[in-house]
């Protein structure tokens, strides 16, 4: 079967293509439109399909819309319960109407597509499939989905056996751990349904002194679900404006909510494990991007093995919906090969971009060695290599790299990106050296867990150590990422450090760089010393000389 998966209903619109059970391509619309998150999660944007991402997925496989056997849309309007608490009925009717019209919207965006082949996949089933069916084999095990909301629920707990999902519990709205975290994000002056990761970072600066109050409002119910009562955030800490300074109260509130989230997740995982006895848990949904909570589950939960979908947010439902329909159609689905599922350019195409931009560039004998030399001199490098990542993490394909041994590089990179200074920057580390430096789940190829930095290493790599002594690491295996692994080894030979700072190649409020033009624009507008794009390098001093 040739199945195109579509996520469009809330935010992070995306498309994914599965052919004969194999993941061929997946991309988020924001990488094409250059609009962060693709669109805001409001009902009147629900009609917008990820048409550029969908067209590219088809082009990647050499297919036309008419060649598809099915389109999997990751939301089922028939599952929306009218009159459900927490729904604004006027907006909900509009969102449901747009979902019902999705086949027509898609047919208009992709001429030649038969709207009759569009199939609705329940939102949380798509999330679950993105975790279980895309996971490394075997995929059998438990699955926990937690996000803001789907059709009428915010959570799904179930188990997979033989690739088939058995749901065991689903939490009805208005109770939602994801929406609770979004409410806190907005109260703290950040953009809801976008900046929740900033709250997670801020929590490390606080103490959970509001935890007892939150335990009265947020609790597991003992049947696999949970309850979230309305919270008067202002009674705990004064609301912060988007431009205001954060205070100790704000950090303590973030720490308290983070701690309560972790406690409830442990309760939910313990209940699920008690029903199944499985040793493996697979996670998806926006809450699964909370790497601190994931690490708490790994350390204190009942499961031996935890796998998190790298595109755990709504973008990943495009992939999950496609895999779900492919399996239903009789295909033997295979694990996703990695997160590098997006666009790429050959050397000749990159050279044409550079020639058109009229920037001086060179082709060193070994781009990894040339970049390692620059990094050893404490230069900041924009790194653009191979296929772009699917999901929110830069994993060595669209990255900003720096020396981890200089504490000042935290402020320096946050200035480059225009980010808040309380936010940490993450390390990539050669897999064979990871355990000697970091304590936590290893391997960790997708930056979805936090690790304690061993005390003897904290002064050696201060740029990647958060205020609480942790780091959100990416382990790099030479068999999967040979170029990045060689870069790390070249840097280690020069510095003794098998670690590099790795953050996403973008500036604040902009999506991650995706094509060569994006890379050149970012390099030209930010104080980056060197751009490594394919086998070529562009040096800042040469650009200035012109």
**CA 516 to CA 33: how far, in whole Å?**
15
**Among the residues of 9-69, which ranges form H helices?**
30-33, 51-61
**CA 136 to CA 159: how far, in whole Å?**
16
CB 393 within 8 A of CB 340: no
CB 428 within 8 A of CB 476: yes
**Helix H or strand E encompassing 126:** helix 123-132
Token pair for residue 200?
């997670």
**CA 509 to CA 350: how far, in whole Å?**
26
Beta-carbon contacts of 93 under 8 Å, excluding residues fewer than 6 positions away, are none
Angle at 472 between CA 22 and CA 226, to 5 degrees: 75
Beta-carbon contacts of 341 under 8 Å, excluding residues fewer than 6 positions away, are 16, 23, 25, 26, 27, 387, 389, 390
Nearest to 390 by CA among 422, 347, 343: 343
Is 385 strand, coil or helix?
A: coil
11 is catalytic: yes
**CA 77 to CA 103: how far, in whole Å?**
12
- Residues identified as active-site: 11
């Amino acid at each position: 079967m040739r199945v195109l998966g579509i996520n469009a209903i809330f935010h992070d619109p995306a498309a994914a293509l599965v052919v004969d059970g194999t993941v061929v391509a997946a991309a988020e619309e924001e990488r094409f439109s250059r609009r962060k998150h693709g669109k805001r999660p409001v009902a009147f944007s629900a009609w917008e399909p990820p048409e550029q991402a969908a067209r590219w997925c088809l082009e990647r496989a050499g297919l036309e819309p008419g060649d598809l056997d099915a389109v999997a849309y990751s939301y089922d309007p028939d599952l929306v319960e009218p009159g459900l608490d927490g729904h604004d009925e006027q907006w909900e009717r509009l969102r449901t109407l747009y979902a019902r019209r999705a086949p027509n919207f898609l047919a208009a965006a992709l001429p030649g597509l038969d709207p009759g082949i569009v199939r609705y996949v329940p939102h949380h089933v798509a999330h679950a499939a993105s975790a279980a069916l895309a996971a490394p084999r075997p995929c059998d095990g438990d699955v926990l989905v937690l996000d803001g909301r789907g059709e009428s629920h915010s959570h799904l707990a179930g188990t997979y056996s033989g690739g088939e999902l058995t749901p065991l519990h689903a939490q009805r709205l208005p109770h939602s751990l994801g929406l609770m975290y979004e409410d806190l994000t907005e109260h703290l002056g950040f953009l809801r349904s976008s900046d929740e990761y900033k709250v997670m970072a801020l929590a490390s600066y606080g103490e959970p002194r509001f935890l007892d109050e939150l335990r009265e409002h947020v609790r597991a119910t003992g049947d696999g679900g949970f309850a979230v009562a309305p919270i008067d955030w202002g009674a705990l800490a004064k609301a912060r404006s988007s431009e205001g300074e954060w205070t100790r109260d704000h950090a303590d509130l973030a720490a308290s909510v983070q701690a309560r989230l972790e406690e409830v997740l442990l309760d939910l995982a313990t209940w699920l494990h008690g029903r199944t006895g499985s040793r493996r848990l697979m996670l998806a949904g926006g809450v699964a991007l909370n790497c601190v909570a994931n690490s708490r589950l790994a350390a204190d939960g009942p499961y031996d093995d935890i796998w998190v979908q790298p595109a755990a947010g709504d973008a990943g439902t495009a992939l999950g919906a496609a895999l779900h329909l492919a399996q239903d159609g009789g295909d033997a689905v295979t694990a996703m090969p990695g997160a590098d599922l997006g666009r790429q350019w050959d050397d000749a195409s990159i050279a044409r971009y550079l020639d058109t931009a009229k920037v001086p560039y060179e082709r060193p004998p070994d781009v990894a060695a040339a970049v390692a030399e620059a990094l050893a001199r404490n230069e900041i490098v924009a790194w653009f290599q191979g296929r772009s990542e699917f999901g929110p993490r830069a994993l060595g394909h669209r990255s900003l790299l720096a020396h981890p041994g200089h504490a000042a590089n935290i402020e320096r990179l946050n200035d480059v990106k225009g980010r808040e200074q309380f936010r940490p920057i993450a390390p990539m580390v050669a897999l064979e050296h990871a355990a000697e430096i970091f304590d936590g789940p290893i391997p960790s190829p997708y930056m979805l867990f936090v690790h304690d930095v061993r005390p003897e290493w904290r002064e050696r790599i201060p740029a990647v150590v958060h205020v609480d002594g942790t780091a959100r690491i990416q382990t790099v295996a030479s068999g999967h990422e040979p170029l990045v692994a060689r870069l790390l080894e070249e840097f280690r030979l020069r510095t003794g450090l098998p670690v590099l700072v790795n953050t996403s190649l973008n500036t604040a409020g902009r999506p991650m760089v995706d094509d060569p033009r994006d890379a050149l624009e970012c390099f030209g507008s930010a104080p980056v010393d060197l751009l490594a794009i394919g086998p070529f390098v562009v040096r800042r001093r040469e650009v200035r000389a012109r």
